[in-house]
Amino acid sequence: MEPEVNLPETIVEIYDDEQIYNVLAITEFRPKNVVYIGTRKLKSKRIKNSLIACLRSLGLETKCFFYSTDMLSLNAIIDELKHICELFPGLVIDLTGGSEVALVAVGMIAKELGVPLMRYDRYEYRYRDIYNCPCAETLVSSPHFSVGAFLKLAGGDIKEHGHLNLESLDSETSEDIFKVWEIFKEKHHTWHRLVSFLQQVSKRPSDSDSLEVSAQTVIYSGDKLVNCDTLIMCELANAGIILDLRFENGRVSFRYKSELMRSCLIDTGICLELYVYATAMQSGEFDDVQLSVVVDWDGDLSAKINTINEIDVMLVRGQVPVFVSCKSGTPSVVALNEIKTLAGRFGGENGRAVLVTMAEVRNRDPFFCQRAADMNVTVIDNYDLVNDRLAKKLTAAARL
C-alpha cells in the first residue's frame, strides 16, 4: 500500500500578472488558505475581489490573504516570507508565477527553513516537486474552469446573455439546430433570400407572441420584391422546423416550431452562432460553453455607465478560454481586432481568438488570412463549415 500523501492546507502564491497562474494551484489542491505575496498591486480592491470572485464561482471556500512588499528587494521579500511562514506553518510555496527576485528569495527561504516548493510544468501539464514537496507529483492535473470564472478573474463579469439565451441544450433543440444547419449548408447561396422574406413576414405583432405566419408569397421589402423560396420552406417543413405549411391562392401560411427556430430562420448570424454552440456542446471537449455572452469589463453590474461587449460564443477547455466571433458575411480586419482584444483582455496568454465566417476567405482573401495568422486568430471559414470540420477546428484552437 502506498503511503498517504497529505495535501497542503496553505499555498503561497507569488502574485503574477498572468492571472490564471494565481488560481491554478488553488483549484487543483483546494487548500484551506491561499496567501498572495506581491507588489502594491495587491492593495487594490479590484484585484483582491477578482481573485476571490473567481474562486467562489468555482465553489471554493479557500480563505485568501494578501501581503504586499517591495518585490525588487531581496531582503524585503525574505522578511515577508518568514513572517508568512510563522503565521501558516506547514505551507507550500507555488513557484509558477512571480519575478526572478522573488524566486531567488523563495529558494533561500526553502533552504533555510525547509519550506516545500512546487511548480506547474506548462509543457507536461502537471505539478512538479521542486523541493521537499512529494504531494505535487501525486496530483494528476485536470483543471476545470467556467466561462464566468475566467471573466471574474480578469475583473469582468457576465452582465447577461444577449439576443440568445440557452440555459441548456436538450436533445430535441440540438437536433433542430442541426436539421436547420444541414438545409442551410446545402442552400447557403440562396438562403439570404429566404431570410429577407421571413424577416418581413415574421415581424411580431406588438400585442402577440404568436408563431403563426400568413402572407403573400411575393412581397415588397423596401422597394424590392422578395419571393418565398418554396423549395427551402418545404424542406424545413419536412424537417419539422416549421409546421402546418400551406400554399393557397398565392399565399403561404405556417407556424414556427419555437421562438428559437424563428430567431434562427430570420437571422443568418444567429443560425451560425447556434450551430457553433451546438457543435461545441455535442463534441464533449469543453468544460463550459456559453452563447451570446454580454461581458461587463469592470464587473460592476450596478453602474449606470459600463464598458460592455457581446461575445457570440465562449468556450472553456481546461485552463484555455476560447472567444468566438461569428460573421455570416465577409469579415473585416476590425472583426479580427475586436475578438483578439477580448481574448487578450479576459483570457490572458491562454486566451484563444476564433473567427467563424460563412465567407470563403481562405482562397479568396490571402491577405486577410495572413493578417489573422500574424495576430494568432484562428479563422474557420465556409470550407471548414460545409465539410464538417468545425468541431475539430474548435478543439485544436483550445489546445495549450
Residue-wise pLDDT for 347-386, tens only, equals 999 999 999 999 999 888 999 999 999 999 999 999 999 9
User: What's residue 301's pLDDT?
Assistant: 76
10-143, what's its fold? Rossmann fold (3.40.50)
pLDDT at 1 over 50: no
According to DSSP, the residues that pair with 212 across neighbouring strands are: 255
Task: Give the tens place of pLDDT for each residue, 4-19.
Answer: 557 899 999 999 999 9
Give CA–CA dist 328/75, Å, rounded: 58
Q: What is the DSSP letter of 307?
A: -
User: What's residue 209's pLDDT?
Assistant: 65
Q: Are strands 92-94 and 117-121 parallel, antiparallel or unpaired?
A: parallel
Ranges of each domain in the chain = 10-143, 160-168+268-397, 171-265
Task: Give the tens place of pLDDT for each residue, 123-157.
Answer: 888 999 999 999 999 888 888 999 999 999 999 99
Same fold, 10-143 and 171-265: no
Q: What is the largest CA-CA distance in the chain?
A: 93
Closest listed residue to residue 227, CA positions, set 192, 272, 182: 192
User: What's residue 207's pLDDT?
Assistant: 40
User: What's residue 98's pLDDT?
Assistant: 82
- CA-to-CA separations, 133 to 97, 130, 236, in angstroms, rounded: 17, 7, 61
User: What's residue 4's pLDDT?
Assistant: 53
Residue pointed to by grid coordinates 439576443: 163
- Chain centroid offset of residue 188 CA: 27
User: What's residue 204's pLDDT?
Assistant: 53
CATH of 160-168+268-397, one of 3.40.1350.10, 3.90.1200.10, 3.30.70.20, 3.30.300.30: 3.40.1350.10
Q: Which residues contact 8 (CB under 8 A, 6 or more apart)?
A: 29, 31, 90, 91, 92, 116, 135
Give CA–CA dist 292/274, Å, rounded: 10
User: What's residue 103's pLDDT?
Assistant: 92
pLDDT at 206 over 60: no
Average the pLDDT over 44-53 and give the result: 95
Residue pointed to by grid coordinates 460553453: 289
User: What's residue 2's pLDDT?
Assistant: 45
Give CA–CA dist 48/244, Å, rounded: 57
pLDDT at 310 over 90: yes
H helical segments located in the chain: 20-29, 45-57, 74-87, 100-113, 135-138, 147-153, 171-187, 191-201, 230-238, 259-265, 268-283, 333-347, 361-364, 366-374, 382-386, 390-397
Q: Percentage of the chain surpassing pLDDT 70?
A: 97
Closest listed residue to residue 283, CA positions, set 241, 317, 253: 317
pTM of the shown model: 0.92
User: What's residue 3's pLDDT?
Assistant: 45
User: What's residue 299's pLDDT?
Assistant: 80
Least confident of 210-214, 274-278, 283-287, 312-316: 210-214
Task: Give the tens place of pLDDT for each residue, 69-126.
Answer: 999 999 999 999 999 999 999 999 999 988 889 999 999 999 999 999 999 998 888 9
Give CA–CA dist 372/378, Å, rounded: 7
pLDDT at 21 over 70: yes
C-alpha cell at 355: 473567427
For CA atoms 267, 272, 275, 281, the dihedral sign is negative
171-265, what's its fold? Arc Repressor Mutant, subunit A (1.10.10)
Give CA–CA dist 257/47, Å, rounded: 47
User: What's residue 225's pLDDT?
Assistant: 86
Average pLDDT, the chain: 92
pLDDT at 205 over 60: no
Task: Give the tens place of pLDDT for each residue, 219-268.
Answer: 877 778 889 999 999 999 999 999 999 999 999 999 999 999 999 999 98
Give CA–CA dist 52/299, Å, rounded: 13
Residue pointed to by grid coordinates 501581503: 67
Work out the pLDDT band at 62, boundaries 50, 70, 90: very high
Count of helix runs (H) and strand runs (E) in the chain:
16, 17
